[in-house]
Structure formats: structure tokens, C-alpha cells
Amino acid sequence: MSSLSLDRVYKYYGPQLCILNDINIDVASGEFLVLLGPSGCGKSTLLHAIAGLHKISSGAISLGGRVLNDVPCQHRDIAMVFQSYALYPSMTVGENIAFPLQMRKVPKSLRDKAVSDVANLLQISHLIDRKPGQLSGGQRQRVAIGRALVREPSLFLFDEPLSNLDALLRVEMRTELKKLHHRMGRTTVYVTHDQIEAMTLASRIAILDTGVVQQLGTPGDVYNRPANVFVANFIGSPRINLLPAISRGGRVVLEGSGTVLPPPAEFAAALRQDGRKVTVGIRPENYRTAEGNGDDRTVDIDADVTLIEPTGSDDVVFFRHSGLEQSALLRAGLITQSGPARLRVEASRINIFDGESGKRLA
């Protein structure tokens, strides 16, 4: 296993278009890093740069202490799994998996054993003589992963490998990938735009926007302590509620309604100045129905429920407060119709961002 280092990596297309802007990431040996962000944020470009498919404009990419900038992709000891599977249709499953070893002129007896071991690991031994056209999408993806595994590389790269699968199969393959990583322990960089994939698979997540790393941290870090408004809004489903407010007496007052929220202690220093414009972030799951008495960590608000979306065990309840549409994630059946409702927010768990820069205040 090897560690990966990205040191001040830039990628320009022409003098004006910066696709990757000062990327600095260290991936520990055996870590599973997910590159997450919207379309066009630079995550696939960064993955392809690591693989050697794109040449970076400046900076350094190192694997196990070896600088890869001028190393051809075939000599980087990296295996990549593509979104499109990229299987040879005229070859059997076994031949597809064995192909990288064949290109290295590995003896047939060793190739056969390696293919058998990988096929057993991925539970596709019964498919070994089939052609890709005879396989389902999930089976083809397993073959593509097997072809990467058989090389025993220092680094695995995955470029949105599950995006072509249906929802149920995507969940199943996500679980299999996580189990596989636990068994193999190989350093992995995985690209996706699906936040659920990122949260469930990653050791750490690098969230990108416009070629800039907005936050690098564990799934818990980026969810509970988002670095800025972009990260807060991108992570979480339903999306976080973002509400304009001002500081007053060490508290925050929501514009429009005048609702006063006592913030967590970590924000106290940043809120000493009265009249500071801030943005309050409230996760939908931090709302609940107001039953009984609250405490000093909660605030009750009057909500005008406009829509209820059942999702099974929970309901997404849309309501208006502070003149803005918000959402709450509540246990199914607690609110059954539109109209006035009393909700309670756990103010102790809110996030507060600077009203101008969008950066988290603590």
C-alpha cells in the first residue's frame, strides 16, 4: 500500500480557465478518499490527473514518495475503474480480468490463479466463461473491478462507477465496495456526485467547487461542521435550511420573524458584535414537533405547513417561517395536514456562517 500526495496542483485550459486551483490533499496508505462535488467542479479532472490521463499545469502528484508528474500512466502502478466499464465485448469475463496480466506477460498458470482468486472474491466465478453482453450492469461492474484488482496496484481510482446502475443495485454495489475495501485495505480515490455514496464509503471527503477544495474532512466533519454555506447546502438530504439573521446580545435573531436563537457556545466570540449579518443553518432533522416544555437548548416557532411529502418511516414537512420556505424531517404521521403547526428547533445544533463570506464562524 502507498500514500498519495497532491501538492499545490493546478490545471489550466488556456491562460484564463483554471480547472484545478491549488489542490493540496494527502491520502494516507489504506485510506478511502471520496472526491465529491457538482458537475463541472473538477473532481474527474483531478482523478484523471492522478491517473496520468491529464497532465497538470503545475504542482506535484506523488505516490509512495515517488513523483508521478512525468511518469506515463501505464507505469504509475495505478488501476482505474471507469463509469462505462470499458470491457472488451469479444472477450469472456475471465479473459477481461486476465488482460492486464497478459499485457505484462505473466505466465498463464499465474494468470489463471489470479483470475480465479479475484472471481471468487467478487462472487463471479460462475460467470467466468460469459461475454459482457450476457451480463447485467452490476455483473459488468464487478468484472471491471476484478480487472483492476488482479493487478494488485498501489492505488485504486474509481470514476463514478455506480452511476449507470439502478437505485437498488447501486445500494448493493456500494455495500460490496465498502466490504471489499475493508478486506483489501488498498488506498482508494473515488469520484462521485452522489452525497450518499460519499458519506457511506469515505474515510474522508474532499468537497470541490469550481476547482477549489471547499472542505476536506470525515463524513461527520463535513455534515456537522460544514466549512461554508456551499458545503452545508451540498451535503444533506433534505437540504439544510439557510436563514438570514443578525447578531444581538450574543444571540442570533432571524430576519422577518424576529425569532431569537441561542447559539452553541462555540459561536459566542464571533457573535459579540451586535448587528453582524449572519446566515443560520438548520438541518431538517433538527426540527421536531413541540410537545411539552422545551429547554434552554430549544426554541419553539409558529410554522405554516404548506406541503407534506411521505417517504415511508419519515415525512418531509415543508413550512414557512421567517418569510422563507423551510423543511423539517419528522417521524411519519406527526403532522398530517397543511396549516398552522408548532415546531421546536434544537438551537444547540445549528451552524452559523458569516453573512458576507459564507464561512463558518467557528
Summarize pLDDT for 207-221 with one digit per residue, the tens. Answer: 999 999 999 999 999
Q: Specify whether the CB–CB gap between 41 and 210 falls below 8 A.
A: yes
Summarize pLDDT for 185-202 with one digit per residue, the tens. Answer: 899 999 999 999 999 999
Instruction: Return d(Cα 334, Cα 247) in angstroms, integer.
Output: 33
DSSP assigned state of 348: G
Instruction: Return d(Cα 43, Cα 206) in angstroms, integer.
Output: 9
Q: What's the CA dihedral at 41, 44, 49, 54 to 10 degrees?
A: -100
Per CATH, the number for 4-234 is 3.40.50.300
3-class DSSP state of 321 = strand
Instruction: Return d(Cα 356, Cα 170) in angstroms, integer.
Output: 39
pLDDT range class, residue 17, cuts 50, 70, 90: very high
Q: Where exactly are the structural domains of the chain? A: 4-234, 241-354
Q: Grid coordinates standing for 205?
A: 471527503
223-243: average pLDDT = 96
Summarize pLDDT for 267-280 with one digit per residue, the tens. Answer: 999 999 999 999 99
Summarize pLDDT for 168-177 with one digit per residue, the tens. Answer: 888 888 888 8
3-class DSSP state of 346 = strand
Which helix or strand (DSSP H or E) is residue 340 part of?
strand 339-346
Helical spans, DSSP H, in the chain: 43-51, 93-103, 108-121, 137-149, 167-184, 195-201, 219-224, 229-234
Radius of gyration of the chain (CA): 24
35-40: average pLDDT = 94
4-234 and 241-354 have identical folds: no
CA triple 145-221-215, angle to 5 deg = 75
pTM over 0.85: yes
Q: State residue 1's pLDDT score.
A: 61
3-class DSSP state of 273 = coil
Task: Check whether 78 has a pLDDT greater than 70.
Answer: yes
Instruction: Return d(Cα 213, Cα 7) in angstroms, integer.
Output: 13
Q: What's the CA dihedral at 126, 128, 131, 137 to 10 degrees?
A: 60
Instruction: Return d(Cα 346, Cα 343) in angstroms, integer.
Output: 10
Return the exposure string of 290-326: e unless at least 16 CB atoms fall within 10 Å of the residue's CB, then b: beeeeeeebbebebebeebeeeeebbbbbbebbeeeb
Cis upstream peptide for 284 (omega within 30°): no
Indicate the fold that domain 241-354 takes in CATH: OB fold (Dihydrolipoamide Acetyltransferase, E2P) (2.40.50)
φ and ψ at residue 233, rounded to 5 degrees: -80, -25
Q: What is the 3-state secondary structure (H, E, C) of 29-93?
A: CCCEEEEECCCCCCHHHHHHHHHCCCCCCEEEEEECCEECCCCCHHHCCEEEECCCCCCCCCCCH
